[in-house]
Structure 1
Amino acid sequence: MKLHPFRDERVSRLHSLLDGGKFAIPRLQRAFVWNGPKAAKLLDSVYRGMPIGSLTIWDTSGRNRDLLRKDARVLPPYREHNPRVWFVLDGQQRMSVLYRAQEGGVVQNGRHQPVDFGRLVFRVTDGNGDEDRFAYRKPVAREWVAVADILARNWKLRLGDLSAGQLNRAQRCRERLLTYRVPIVRVETDSIDLARELFIRINSAGTPIAAADRAFARAAEFDLREHAEQAWAELPPAFRGLSHETLLQARALLDGLDAVAAEAMERVATLWDAQIQADQRAVARFSKEWAAQQRAMHRALDLLRAKFCVLDDGLLPSQYMVSTLTVFFAHRPKQPTPAQLAQLRVWFWATALGQRYSGSGYRQNILDDSRFFKALAEGRAETFRLSERIDPDELRRAAYGRRSSVADAFFCLLVAQKPQYLSNGTEMQVSDFASAANRRHKHHVFPRQHLRQQAGLSQRTINSILNLCLIPGEENSQFGARPPRKYLEPFADNPHFGRVMARHLLPIGEDGGLWDPNPRKGYLRFLKAREALVCAEFERAAGAKLFRRKAA
């Protein structure tokens, strides 16, 4: 391996080399994953002359052309008239932005999100120095000018409507971006193994190498990344937030590997790489087993949605739950029996509420659950047992706006109640509540402003998830900051009022606190009463005792 001395290239020179098809993206590289705002920040750093890190290039002979990543559409393709291939090992994200900022156009990143480089804009109006010069937004005439227009060859023609001062600012932007010098490290070797090791060791400026990316780089004999990305693309749209790590963890469990997280993923790559190196027929065997795994994962997602109201990945208590549940359906490619479903119910609610897939014991819990699911699927008389009952105060401590498996389980439970409108008692559309991030339909039973002003409670106490229910935005907006005894009063005489409140798991008795004129006393009584209601409903859903009993 030969390490060439550092050299700096201007952005304009990099652009010419890219247009000439000199660079290529290897299969072991990830896709372009940046979004528009992050691209704007990079241009701002370049404009200010700040360091953005070096590019690392693997210089190799043309015989390694078969390592080209075929779906890399952000940068120009490699042209075979070049005698050597310059594979980009580090810096693809930055290079892509520097190129596309001049070319413009809309591309789809590796997360299947559109990035419109025509929306990378530079502010040509005067301001406080050079603050806030770049943004990702729609261009505005004579204020926010597209960077692609500024960097174009006919830039003066495109910017003909600017004033002299604005044109000078655009010219300064053009010169700073095009003359910026990017350090390049060029490593020359024809050894694929050395290049893979170099890629894995690199973790400099830019997007850090994820555990899955390391595993993909380890797979020298087959394209593990291509399998993972195709499987990800075939997931239901509501679950496209699942990571490659979820897929690889499922594979590790099905392969019987006693490993979790990054170790599991690298061992999957190493295991199959060795098998394929020994016998090329193992490629077909891997593809067959991978396809069966994906069918099992789709069944797992169907069950999570249908039986536990996990409407999308935003309500999924842990992505590891998909990996372990996939093991069950891999060994039983059909619906669970009533007895098996009863055990799955206990597992789901106990794992989510007990936060079993996070914390110090999560690795062993995942491995234990994988073995449990295999035995359960094969028809053995298995009973899921929770090693320790859950403290019910975990519900009170879980906070709105802070993602946790307890909060996700709580929202799934609320959706499962099939909540109804207060106004007319008809059932709401559960699709309105997909994703815990959809805050428009989250209602604080005791409004935060009311509690802050009247009750003198801490923000953490006010933001307990027990103070939340699912109310459509239009109904929510009518309540404002009034206390519940005020905004509920117009509905209290409706014949469906009691039924609707029960669907929302809200206590309406005198001990429930909703009608108490004392805000502090009423809210604390409400938390206690609702905690009891919610715990009872969780246990009913699980068909098992989950919580420790509090002393009277």
Structure 2
Amino acid sequence: MTAIFKTVPWQVGQLVNGVSTGQIQLPDLQRPFVWPATKVRDLFDSMYRGYPVGELMFWDVSAEGETRGISSSAQLSASHQIIDGQQRLTSLYAAMQGHPVRDEAYRKRRIVISFNPFSERFEVRTPALAKSVQWVEDISTCFTSPIAARKAFLKRCESAGVELSEDEEERVESVFARLTELKNYQFTVVYIQKDVDKKLVADVFVRINSEGVRLKAYDYILTWLSVFWPEGREQIEAFARNSRISPQRASEIAGAPVTWTAQNPYIEIETGHVVRALVAVGQGRGRLQDAYAALQAKDKTTGQVDSSRQEAELEKLRSALPVVTNPVSWTEYVRAIRTAGFRQSANLTSNMNIIYSYVVFLLGRTRYRVELAVLRNLIARWLFMAQLTGRYTGSSESQIQKDLDRISTVDEGDAGGFVALLDEIIGSQLTPDFWEYNLPQNLITSGPGLSPHYQCYLAALNVLDAKMFMLDDRVVDWMDPSQPAVKGTEAHHLFPRAYQEKVLGITDIKRINQAANFAPTDWNTNIRIADGPPSDYWPKLVEERSVSAQWLEKQMYWHALPRDWENMDYEDFLNERRILMAGVTRDAYRLLSGSTVGKTTERVPQVAETIDEPSLAELIESGILAPGDLLDPVAPDWVVDAVINDDGILVIDGMEQFESLKEASHFLGVTNMGGLVFWALETPEGIRPLKELVLGAGRFQR
């Protein structure tokens, strides 16, 4: 049997130069990824000490149009494509050349490693190290011009009054020479031969990457597409990436005009989300493992690939991708989300509810040709139901498969049958018993920001065009993400925390922060409420702000306030208010079911790009955070031990480490909001939301 690979030694200097010129490039079947800076530090430390750091694997073939360079200045076409070792090679290039690279969010980032010639230690660059005379701030200077870097270091020591003996100077020279000799460190490179079939290359890639990280089913599908349909894979990545950025920013990244992106205030689309929609619409499959098996088209008995069946499955995806990524469809679906009353990502607590409701929308629009005004309202109710019942938050793949199977029983083009089926499913979930018994029980929860049922109540206030608590400002304006962030509008306790703790003797934070104890109002009203009991502040608010009996009646209705609520026992108040909140939510849903809702031609506003979420390193560099700081979720009942260590890494529960706030919140299962929104800093004055600190500092604006 012909060997499929050979091994060849490469020096680090040759590898870095190959990346710089473009001879070594990254194939599209590899996922974008850059190591955390601490792993880059450890890589250099291991090389410096002569430890083995693993092999690299190249695919020794040129494939125009199917690779992308690590270096932005690459000039040559690729003759070697990286199959394994992209993280190490990218890190070496970035740290030794001093060039920025694109991270997983397609932003340019510098990886700066500092070096101490006296202790022979490597560290991630910090402001303190940059100021210290004992450290070389950036090791890239040592590889660019070794002699100049050594002289600059010695001169800096002399200027700072650090006198070195001849022996010490000789030792420093020896250490600098050893550092620059890292260019001659040898890697073993495994070459996959030119004539090896792409399917085998993909199989090798999947096996290698499955060893260290558990791949998800959509990763296998993306890998398969990279081999057999690289243009489709690129379109998937572009759609996902551009959901997070404006057309102007997308144009900068692409180097060509981009007139539309899928940017929206609800979800940062990931490639896995697009794959889920793609296989559901194209293959009619909810389970990704089944979709991947269908794409492989292997006979269960012989293991042979049925090429015709494989091509047929691929054609289904080719036909479905323009449907999934259609700008008009996505824009109209976003309008449907707004019709349901949701205004921001925090309102929708499950990304799967968003993605799979989009699948249902697409089927209604393309396969059943439902009139857009009718479909928009129908999907608004479907999403409202999905959020209230957690339809796709558990076994999401099994549930969407059931829904796809039921929808497939309707004849293609039968718009009325499609609408009737969805109405039947919604009605079976949102029964009278659900509104009367289930929803009030579901509202027994603390931390309203993470409660899907409380978020539906807020959406209901938007559908009903409600005003904020004891104000004439609309709730929908308070929640509008296109408006500038205003400190003075947020949710506040109706029974103040201090009153509960000092007078009622309630210290359990979960009882204090029950969702039914919150109402949307402004900061000034909260000051008026202060720490007093409702029986004190409520009559005063009514006297000062009530315009009429009708105005007050609407306030009582919108904010689910029982009669004589200000004199009620706290637990009785919560129980009564949950019932009324469920009633308000039900009324909004019924309004959505009417003929006058959902037919607006309202323009969907583009999301105001206010903050490019910074990394922890950037927050530390700017002085907003520091090693040793303790972070807490904004939701006060969520108990998490999170601290920033000396490496600038967020450590959760003493074990899990993260370089970004978003990754840390995603680890905790929170995907409906960014890290800046989720995390807060512990200060002597109390908890300070990080978003508030960043906005106050005026940094990281796009």
- TM-score normalised over the length of structure 2: 0.60
Q: Which of 76, 87, 91 in structure 1 is aligned with 2:85? A: 91
Q: CA 1:14/1:467 → structure 2, altered by over 3 Å: closer, same or farther?
A: farther
Distance (Å, rounded) in 2 between the aligned partners of 1:412 and 1:126: 61
- CA shift digits 1:364-419 (9 cap, x unpaired): 42123335566496221332243586423553344428746445534433544545
Aligned residue for 1:492, secondary structure, equals helix
Tell whether the 8 Å contact from 2:12 to 2:187 is kept in structure 1 after alignment.
Answer: no
Matches within 5 A, 1:103-114: 103-112=97-106, 114=107
**Paired position in structure 1 for 2:323:** 292
Distance (Å, rounded) in 1 between the aligned partners of 2:163 and 2:263: 48
Structure 2 residue identity aligned to 1:320: Y
- CA shift digits 1:275-332 (9 cap, x unpaired): 697599x87x865542233236414532333311333444333233323333222335
C-alpha deviation, 1:222, in angstroms? 1.5
**Paired position in structure 1 for 2:40:** 43
Matched, 1:221 2:228: yes
C-alpha deviation, 1:23, in angstroms? 1.8
User: Over the residues paired in the alignment, what is the CA RMSD in angstroms?
Assistant: 4.9
* Highest RCO, 1 vs 2 (Cα 8 Å, sep ≥ 6): 1
Structure 2 residue identity aligned to 1:326: L
**Paired position in structure 1 for 2:397:** 363
Q: CA 1:304/1:395 → structure 2, altered by over 3 Å: closer, same or farther?
A: farther
Q: CA 1:525/1:208 → structure 2, altered by over 3 Å: closer, same or farther?
A: same
**Paired position in structure 2 for 1:202:** 208
C-alpha deviation, 1:26, in angstroms? 1.0
**Paired position in structure 2 for 1:549:** none
C-alpha deviation, 1:13, in angstroms? 5.2
Tell whether the 8 Å contact from 2:103 to 2:109 is kept in structure 1 after alignment.
Answer: no
**Paired position in structure 2 for 1:258:** 285
Tell whether the 8 Å contact from 1:27 to 1:69 is kept in structure 2 after alignment.
Answer: yes
Q: CA 1:49/1:4 → structure 2, altered by over 3 Å: closer, same or farther?
A: same
C-alpha deviation, 1:58, in angstroms? 2.9
Structure 2 residue identity aligned to 1:29: Q
Any stretches of 5+ residues in structure 2 without a counterpart?
Answer: 243-260, 299-305, 593-702
Tell whether the 8 Å contact from 1:4 to 1:186 is kept in structure 2 after alignment.
Answer: yes
**Paired position in structure 1 for 2:581:** 534
Tell whether the 8 Å contact from 1:324 to 1:366 is kept in structure 2 after alignment.
Answer: no
Q: CA 1:59/1:289 → structure 2, altered by over 3 Å: closer, same or farther?
A: closer
Q: CA 1:253/1:196 → structure 2, altered by over 3 Å: closer, same or farther?
A: same
Distance (Å, rounded) in 2 between the aligned partners of 1:22 and 1:257: 41
- CA shift digits 1:11-33 (9 cap, x unpaired): 5554234235442211212234x
Distance (Å, rounded) in 1 between the aligned partners of 2:152 and 2:460: 56
Any stretches of 5+ residues in structure 1 without a counterpart?
Answer: 546-552
C-alpha deviation, 1:215, in angstroms? 0.8
Q: CA 1:469/1:52 → structure 2, altered by over 3 Å: closer, same or farther?
A: farther
More displaced, 374-383 or 153-162?
Answer: 153-162
Matches within 5 A, 1:150-549: 152-153=144-145, 154-156=148-150, 163=160, 179=182, 184=188, 186-189=190-193, 190-203=196-209, 209-219=215-225, 220-223=227-230, 224-232=232-240, 233=242, 234-239=261-266, 241-264=268-291, 267=294, 287=318, 289-295=320-326, 297-299=329-331, 301-316=333-348, 317=350, 318=353, 319-331=355-367, 335-336=371-372, 338=374, 343-360=378-395, 362-371=396-405, 375=410, 378-380=415-417, 381-382=420-421, 383-384=424-425, 385-386=427-428, 390=434, 391-392=438-439, 395-400=442-447, 403=450, 405-406=452-453, 408-418=455-465, 420-421=467-468, 424-427=471-474, 430=477, 432=479, 434=481, 442-445=490-493, 446-448=495-497, 451=500, 454-472=504-522, 490-493=540-543, 494-496=545-547, 498=552, 501-502=555-556, 505-507=559-561, 509-510=563-564, 512=565, 514-516=566-568, 521-522=569-570, 524-543=571-590
Tell whether the 8 Å contact from 1:18 to 1:76 is kept in structure 2 after alignment.
Answer: no
C-alpha deviation, 1:244, in angstroms? 1.9
Aligned residue for 1:202, secondary structure, equals helix
Q: Which of 101, 124, 130 in structure 2 is aligned with 1:134? A: 124
More displaced, 460-469 or 494-503?
Answer: 494-503
Tell whether the 8 Å contact from 1:203 to 1:209 is kept in structure 2 after alignment.
Answer: yes
Tell whether the 8 Å contact from 1:418 to 1:503 is kept in structure 2 after alignment.
Answer: no
Distance (Å, rounded) in 2 between the aligned partners of 1:141 and 1:329: 61
Structure 2 residue identity aligned to 1:214: Y
Distance (Å, rounded) in 1 between the aligned partners of 2:583 and 2:118: 62
- CA shift digits 1:42-76 (9 cap, x unpaired): 234336549997454133244xx236324x45566
Distance (Å, rounded) in 1 between the aligned partners of 2:117 and 2:182: 23
Tell whether the 8 Å contact from 2:468 to 2:520 is kept in structure 1 after alignment.
Answer: no
Q: CA 1:460/1:426 → structure 2, altered by over 3 Å: closer, same or farther?
A: closer
C-alpha deviation, 1:471, in angstroms? 3.8
C-alpha deviation, 1:89, in angstroms? 1.9
Distance (Å, rounded) in 2 between the aligned partners of 1:484 and 1:404: 25
Tell whether the 8 Å contact from 1:252 to 1:268 is kept in structure 2 after alignment.
Answer: no
C-alpha deviation, 1:228, in angstroms? 0.6
C-alpha deviation, 1:195, in angstroms? 0.8
Matched, 1:79 2:76: yes
C-alpha deviation, 1:87, in angstroms? 1.9
Distance (Å, rounded) in 1 between the aligned partners of 2:186 and 2:210: 14
Q: CA 1:538/1:59 → structure 2, altered by over 3 Å: closer, same or farther?
A: same
Distance (Å, rounded) in 2 between the aligned partners of 1:249 and 1:344: 18
Distance (Å, rounded) in 2 between the aligned partners of 1:365 and 1:427: 36
Tell whether the 8 Å contact from 1:24 to 1:78 is kept in structure 2 after alignment.
Answer: no
Tell whether the 8 Å contact from 2:294 to 2:310 is kept in structure 1 after alignment.
Answer: no
C-alpha deviation, 1:196, in angstroms? 0.3
**Paired position in structure 2 for 1:548:** none
- TM-score normalised over the length of structure 1: 0.74
Structure 2 residue identity aligned to 1:90: D
Aligned residue for 1:57, secondary structure, equals strand
Q: CA 1:155/1:290 → structure 2, altered by over 3 Å: closer, same or farther?
A: same
Tell whether the 8 Å contact from 2:55 to 2:187 is kept in structure 1 after alignment.
Answer: yes
Structure 1 residue identity aligned to 2:363: V
Aligned residue for 2:64, secondary structure, equals helix
